[in-house]
Amino acid sequence: MMFEGKRGLITGVFNKQSIAWAIAEKIMENGGTCGFSYMPDKPDDERQKNLNRIQKLTEGNPSVAFLQPMDVTKDEQIANLMGVAKDKLGKLDFLLHSIAFAPPEDLKKDTVECSREGFRIAMEISAYSLLALANAARPLLHEGSTVLTLTYFGGEKAVPGYNIMGVCKATLDSIVKYLAFDLGAAGVRVNALSAGPLQTISGRGAGVDEMLGLYEAVAPLGRNVTHDEAGKCGAFLLSEMSSGVTGEILHLDAGYNIMGSPGRMLDKFKTS
């Protein structure tokens, strides 16, 4: 099994539909051990909804090392997470960054109308957080370790409805390249997985339902991708199978990103 004896940290799992969970499942199925961070519940939330979600997913799984709350905007909480990871795992063979957020009132606006504070919050959580986590994890990373983040095509091209999150993903994509250089001297790789639209919490917030039909019509394979495929591609990028790959954005979108025209959709407009 390709993750036998490997240990790592998974951030950003929200529920069963999370791409991060699809990747974590593949890692654990292949012998890996994972520690998980999750967004802390509010002090007045007696139901502890965030904790309960991750507990239900991981309960009874011997490959789960720990569950640790972590607000990525708090340096002390990031440091606490790395302290727990050191105690429970000893080292990090892989680190998955799956964290993004924009205030809904700003995400729903045209990009030009995004507020100053909304921009700051979205950029800090969705882009800077990768730098913060990677820097804090450096003492636990070693030659052969791999860092992976999740991005989207809206950071490369304008995707109406994706709005300010597309600006954040463009920044994240650039961070991947600069981190790949900075950490490359220590033998640490950094990559990004750019999946097509999937039914996730963040995807629904960015209008994924409207995109599914478009991707199916335009993509060369004539279909959308699946959570299982995202899990396999993410696991590949975090494994030694991709040992020579760094600074890359792997598109998992049935080929949608290569198209320079609507492809077979044009058939609908042809006249005899």
**8 A C-beta contact, residue 161 and residue 204:** no
Using the Cα atoms of residue 192, residue 194, residue 200 and residue 205 in order, give the sign of their dihedral: positive
Integer angstrom CA distances of residue 262 from 10, 14, 158, 215? 36, 34, 15, 10
Say if 270 falls within a structural domain.
no
Residues labelled catalytic: 152, 162
In a domain, 67, yes or no: yes
User: Can you tell me the distance from the alpha carbon of 232 to that of 31, in angstroms, rounded to the nearest whole number?
Assistant: 14
For residue 211, the model assigns a pLDDT of 83
Residue 251 neighbours by CB distance under 10 Å: 21
CATH code, 29? 3.40.50.720
The answer to whether residue 1 sits within a structural domain is: no
Please tell me the predicted confidence (pLDDT) of residue 44. 78
268 lies in some domain: no
23 located within any domain: yes
Please give the pLDDT value at position 201. 59
Q: Which residues of 19-41 are buried (b: 16+ CB within 10 A; e: fewer)?
A: bbbbbbbbbbeeebbbbbbbbbe
Is 272 part of a structural domain of the chain?
A: no
Q: What is the Cα–Cα distance from 250 to 194, expressed in whole angstroms?
A: 6
Residue pair 234/96 in contact by the 8 Å Cβ criterion: yes
Report the run of H or E that residue 183 belongs to, with start and end. helix 163-184
Q: Are 198 and 150 within 8 A, CB to CB? A: no
Q: Whole-prediction pTM value?
A: 0.94
C-alpha 178/C-alpha 32 separation (Å) is 28
What does each of the 272 residues of the chain score in pLDDT, given as a tens digit? 899 999 999 999 999 999 999 999 999 999 999 999 999 998 877 789 999 999 999 999 999 999 999 999 999 999 999 999 999 999 999 999 999 999 999 999 999 999 999 999 999 999 999 999 999 999 999 999 999 999 999 999 999 999 999 999 999 999 999 999 999 999 999 999 999 999 765 555 555 677 898 999 999 999 999 999 999 999 999 999 999 999 999 999 999 999 998 888 877 766 55
Number of domains in the chain: 1
In a domain, 129, yes or no: yes
In-domain check, residue 201: yes
| Domain limits for position 114 | 7-263
